């Protein structure tokens, strides 16, 4: 199918394949070199920036749908994914402003207010974290751009997506106190400074002492290696790596990292 045929099929028959009235929006955070970014797409019809999103196939679980959406936009599968909130304000998608002519101009199709895409939609928010330097951002069927923005320099967003990013950041930060984090964002072997910087960047604040690295060690989540990294004449800090078994157990059961 060419793009036009795909759009037409999605608009007219999408409700048979996907659950109507429910969407997924993904706050995909990217970390690299002490920078925190977020992936946005530009909707080509309304020419506005949004979080990447999509619909849930009738055969999919929510997390499987979110994983598919994140993989399609970043090129990376099986990323860490967590639901943070579901959004259902009746005015969130501004369906009262539906403009038949605008949709016709954008899609070449005459659709009405009763189309499954126009009717009231509740959206399940997921967030994800990855190393942005390893991703290959790709727009979806309805968008013409997809790229990373510094978390402090996010453009004006459509719908309730600004609130979504705030809620996702908040949930991720609370999560950091109870679960280990770092896989996919640090090299296999890393220094305590590097994991300290990761926590500071994700939490968005300076940490006086390296509480998190220390607690990760005392919980057996980090293993000290005999290997060191030489970073200066008198500076060669020890390298560490995650104990994957302990890490996975802590991810499942939760810990208290303070």
The residue ranges that bind its own copies (CB under 8 A) are: 19-22, 56, 58-62, 65, 83, 85-90, 120, 122, 124, 170, 174, 177-178, 254, 256, 258
Pick 58 or 105: Cβ nearer its own copies: 58
Judge contact between 198 and 31, C-beta under 8 A. yes
Residue 87 CB, nearest approach to its own copies (Å): 8
Residue 10 CB, nearest approach to its own copies (Å): 18
Residues forming a β-bridge with 25 = 53, 125
Pick 54 or 137: Cβ nearer its own copies: 54
Pick 173 or 244: Cβ nearer its own copies: 173
CA–CA separation, 60 and 110 (whole Å): 30
Residue 232 CB, nearest approach to its own copies (Å): 35
**Burial level of 98, CB count in 10 A (0-12/13-18/19+)?**
middle
Residue 254 CB, nearest approach to its own copies (Å): 7
Pick 51 or 56: Cβ nearer its own copies: 56
Judge contact between 49 and 148, C-beta under 8 A. no
Residue 121 CB, nearest approach to its own copies (Å): 9
Pick 30 or 125: Cβ nearer its own copies: 125
């Amino acid at each position: 199918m060419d793009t036009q045929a795909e759009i037409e099929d999605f608009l007219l028959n999408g409700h048979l394949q996907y659950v109507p009235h429910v969407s997924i929006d993904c706050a995909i955070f990217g970390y690299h070199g002490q920078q925190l970014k977020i992936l946005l797409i530009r909707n080509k019809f309304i020419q506005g920036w949004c979080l990447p999103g999509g619909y849930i196939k009738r055969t999919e679980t929510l997390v499987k749908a979110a994983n598919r959406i994140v993989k399609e936009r970043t090129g990376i599968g099986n990323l860490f994914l967590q639901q943070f909130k579901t959004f259902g304000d009746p005015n969130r998608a501004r369906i009262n402003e539906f403009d038949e002519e605008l949709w016709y101009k954008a899609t070449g199709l005459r659709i009405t207010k009763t189309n499954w895409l126009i009717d009231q939609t509740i959206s399940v928010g997921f967030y994800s974290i990855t190393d942005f330097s390893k991703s290959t951002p790709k727009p979806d069927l309805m968008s013409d751009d997809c790229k990373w923005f510094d978390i402090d320099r996010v453009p004006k967003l459509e719908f309730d997506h600004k609130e979504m990013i705030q809620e996702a950041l908040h949930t991720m930060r609370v999560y950091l106190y109870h679960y280990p984090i770092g896989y996919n964002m640090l090299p296999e072997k890393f220094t305590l400074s590097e994991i300290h910087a990761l926590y500071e960047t994700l939490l968005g604040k300076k940490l006086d002492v390296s509480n998190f690295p220390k607690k990760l060690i005392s919980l057996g989540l980090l293993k000290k290696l005999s290997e060191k990294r030489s970073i200066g004449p008198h500076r060669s800090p020890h390298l560490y790596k995650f104990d994957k078994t302990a890490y996975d157990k802590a991810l499942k059961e939760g810990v208290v990292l303070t």
